[in-house]
Amino acid sequence: MIDTHCHILKQYYHNIDEIISKMGNNIMIVSGTNDQDNQEVLELCHKYPNVYGTLGIHPTELDSNNLEFIENNLNDKKIVGIGEIGLDYHWNNDKEKQKEMFIKQLDLALKYNKPVVIHSRDATNDTYEILKQYPRLNKDIHCYSGSLEMAKNFIKINCRLGIGGVITFKNSKLKDVIKEIDLNYLMLETDSPFLTPEPYRGKTNEPYNIIYVAKKIAEVKNISLEEVLEQTTLNAVEQFKLDFRSDK
Ligand code: NI
Distance 79 CA to ligand 1 centre (A): 16
Distance 221 CA to ligand 1 centre (A): 25
Q: What is the pLDDT of residue 245?
A: 64
- Number of alpha carbons in the 13 Å side-chain half-sphere of residue 23: 25
Amino acid at 53: G
pLDDT, tens only, 52-89: 999 999 999 999 999 999 999 999 999 999 999 999 99
Distance 190 CA to ligand 1 centre (A): 8
Distance 6 CA to ligand 1 centre (A): 6
Distance 154 CA to ligand 1 centre (A): 19
pLDDT, tens only, 163-190: 999 999 999 999 999 999 999 999 999 9
Q: Which domains does the chain have, with CATH numbers?
A: 2-247 (3.20.20.140)
Please state the pTM of the whole predicted model: 0.96
Sheet holding 79-88, edge to edge: 2-6, 27-31, 51-55, 79-88, 116-121, 139-141, 159-163, 186-188
In this model, does residue 248 exceed pLDDT 50? no
Counts for the chain of helices (H) and strands (E), in that order: 9, 8
Rounded CA-CA distance 145/151 in Å is 9
Q: Per-residue b/e over 61-83, b at no fewer than 16 CB within 10 Å?
A: beebeebebbeebbeeebbbbbb
